[in-house]
Structure 1
């Protein structure tokens, strides 16, 4: 096994490679927010793996059983140096958040999310950007929380959801901002399937190993025959809608209120929908 667990420079993730399967563990306590550092490290590791023909599958999981990726860091604007660095290296037709999803969608390896806990906002967008996702029935949850913050998804979520679940269910997920359980998410097509928690690890491991063991060229041929759709126009519309909202003073106040009430802490994140609805009532 080639291990990257102690690779210098990685602060928010751990990775190892064995028998054609790369396993990336997201580890950014206390609740695994997708902050600027994690975005940079995910882009770095995906770029490093891109040209490695020995890797055929990448599996993403979380070090925190409760939270896969909580959502984008609500304080991310405070890390402007890294954001500017990410913006400078992003393709010209996407924002920095969309750039991560598009990198994941166009990765040559098969990308799989193992979802044991919750993924909201940018975390849910990450799940939808991966090729496959499998979730634990008892503990997993998916939701686009952004509407309760006064904004809309800005990291590809509108487009990825429409592609996966259809316009009507995408609007439902975005405008209700509800947290969907794994079985509902699977029935909608947001994820591949929901499994009992005690079977999730073994199932994902078996799928990853079986794909990695396929004859040479099969993975490449399948991904060539089933390419990621070109979402350029939709991502541009999404970015315009998101950018028009995120700069509003009322949105900034609502997000600050949510942080004061406990967002981005384990207790607050367990019912972030309720927390943010309560914050919105105190206008």
Structure 2
């Protein structure tokens, strides 16, 4: 891995996008490495939560690497968006392991799209977020037009996309784009604190919850039916047996993750 760093500790994995000279911009190689990294961590039974952040103090991810696609044709542009959504953005959203975005500094274009694909977001107090693609004569192509509207509402999403403006951390918090805002030097530790709480719960149930929540945003899928199916499936797991037994015995559960 040339563009990302992975650290694991106490059932938590920290993925750091490490292209500081490019403000951690997403080029093709970085997208592929992130896919492989997330795939590997999702298959690691010791990893219960993944946190993704950017190296340095200036940027989470400052956007996509424009030089890679400036001369693309219509067909090539469509394939770029489709491939990116498949291997990274949709992939992260549908990962069974929870993914928290720790947004430090700039999260623009593909950077904000990556943060929005994560299951939720925390931000540093110096964070700036936006989708500036229309200044290049293009639109957000990695799910930005869809996820931003889902998170902040149609009107605010339209304004952010049309003006190409950035919002600061406090505005993002007010919009519901991020869950928490903390000083930059506390960001990763704060995210790890939330992750630690998640690790104490049933990873099997959490995976089913992720699938059920995402179903509400999938065309042609009845989220309530998915919830019913997944609720029932939980009853056949070892985690359910341990969780209910621990409750009745008035002790903390020790979930096997099965």
Give the TM-score range, shorter chain: 0.7 to 0.9
Misfit runs of 4+, over 6 Å: none
TM-score by length of 2: 0.76
The alpha-carbon distance between structure 1 residues 45 and 230, as it changes in their structure 2 partners (threshold 3 A), is same
Q: Give the gaps of 5 or more residues in structure 2.
A: 221-258
Counterpart residue number, 2:64:
72
Distance in structure 1 (CA, Å) of the matches to 2:71 and 2:2: 15
C-alpha RMSD over aligned residues: 2.3
Distance in structure 2 (CA, Å) of the matches to 1:32 and 1:197: 17
Larger Rg: 2
Counterpart residue number, 1:180:
167
The answer to whether the Cα contact below 8 Å between 2:121 and 2:179 also exists between their aligned partners in 1 is yes
Task: Please list the CA deviations of residues 245-281 of structure 1 after superposition, one character each: whole Å capped at 9, or x if unmatched.
Answer: xxxxxxxxxxxxxxxxxxxxxxxxxxxxxxxxxxxxx
Shift of 1:57: 0.6
TM-score by length of 1: 0.69
Task: Please list the CA deviations of residues 91-145 of structure 1 after superposition, one character each: whole Å capped at 9, or x if unmatched.
Answer: xxx61222221001001111001112101000010111111111112x1110101
Query: Which has the bigger relative contact order, CA under 8 A and spacing at least 6?
Result: 1
Counterpart residue number, 1:264:
none
Counterpart residue number, 1:107:
95
2:114 to 126, 141, 162: 126
Distance in structure 2 (CA, Å) of the matches to 1:17 and 1:198: 20
Q: Give the gaps of 5 or more residues in structure 1.
A: 1-9, 234-283
Task: Please list the CA deviations of residues 41-98 of structure 1 after superposition, one character each: whole Å capped at 9, or x if unmatched.
Answer: 0111112222223211100111121011110101123899xxx9xx6xx9xxx61222
What secondary structure does 1:52 align onto? coil
Counterpart residue number, 1:212:
199
What is the count of residue pairs matched by the alignment? 213
